[in-house]
Structure 1
Amino acid sequence: MAPITHVPHKDIDASLEIPREVCRALGLDNDRQWLRFDELNSFLWPGYDLRKRPGSLDKYDYGLLPKDLFEQLKYGILLRQQKLKAHIISRDD
């Protein structure tokens, strides 16, 4: 899983800003948000730390990324992995 953060990465090639209209469609807050390419999370689904979406009784997800944004994310992750600049962190411990 590629984490979402409010903090831009110092290395501009390590993340992708999520367009505001996508943030709105997903129900994210109004602050700028980035998808990280370099620190990916690995965990069993559903994990012990999975939380319901704020304000929801039964939803855990925020929805799907648009296809073009997903393709940019995938490309960025693969490029970072080829350059050996990506890390996968297990969150099951």
Structure 2
Amino acid sequence: MTLPVPTPGLVIRYAYLWGREADAGLEEGLKDRPCAVVIAHRDREGELQVYVLPVTHAEPGRDQAAIEIPRLVKQRLRLDGERSWVVVDEANLFAWPGPDIRPVPGDSKQGFAYGFLPPGFFRLVRDRFLALARSGKASATRRSE
């Protein structure tokens, strides 16, 4: 399987490490899940750095910022029918491709990606994440290889 280009808006399968898991000393995510690529850029050394936001079925609590994924978007990405949210106040940051990208289960044609968020929905997610990051209310867990 060929790895996709990590274009912002792409939803990949990834072993996401929650900030609370990292704070507890874990180095590996406990669950593979869909994650949206929100930023991809080259660092000073030319290495491609990617920020991903997790998708979860857990309804956000009062202390968590998340945007519900519309049903039609979930259908287009071939995700399950349960309600889901993109969490926008925490991210994982890693050098692409990194060891934590996983194949989408059940459909070998999909490879490692579900598809793209629609442009308008992606802008909403990206802009909310960036606003929270600028205000110091979003965090990024740096992943290592």
Normalization by structure 2: what TM-score? 0.59
Q: How many residues are aligned here?
A: 93
Question: Are 1:70 and 2:70 an aligned pair?
Answer: no
More strand per residue: 2
Residue-by-residue CA offset, 1:6-60 (whole Å, 9 max, x unaligned): 1122138711000011001001111111011111111222221221111133510
Q: Distance in 2 between matches of 1:55 and 1:45?
A: 24
- The aligned residue for residue 20 of structure 1 is 71
Work out which structure has the larger RCO, using CA pairs closer than 8 Å and 6 or more positions apart in sequence. Answer: 1
After TM superposition, list the pairs within 5 Å mapping 1:1-93 onto structure 2: 1-11=52-62, 14-57=65-108, 59-92=111-144
> Aligned AA for 2:115?
G
More helix per residue: 1
SS at match of 1:8: coil
SS at match of 2:86: strand
SS at match of 2:67: strand
Aligned-pair RMSD on alpha carbons? Answer: 1.7
> Aligned AA for 1:16?
I
- The aligned residue for residue 35 of structure 2 is none
Does structure 1 conserve the Cα–Cα contact (< 8 Å) formed by 2:89 and 2:139? yes
Q: Distance in 2 between matches of 1:40 and 1:2?
A: 5
Q: Distance in 2 between matches of 1:12 and 1:75?
A: 19
Q: Distance in 2 between matches of 1:61 and 1:76?
A: 23
Q: Distance in 2 between matches of 1:13 and 1:61?
A: 26
Does structure 1 conserve the Cα–Cα contact (< 8 Å) formed by 2:64 and 2:89? no
Q: Relative to 1, partners in 2 of residues 1:14 and 1:66: Cα closer, same or farther, differing over 3 Å?
A: same
Normalization by structure 1: what TM-score? 0.89
Structure 1 stretches of 4+ with a deviation exceeding 3 A read none
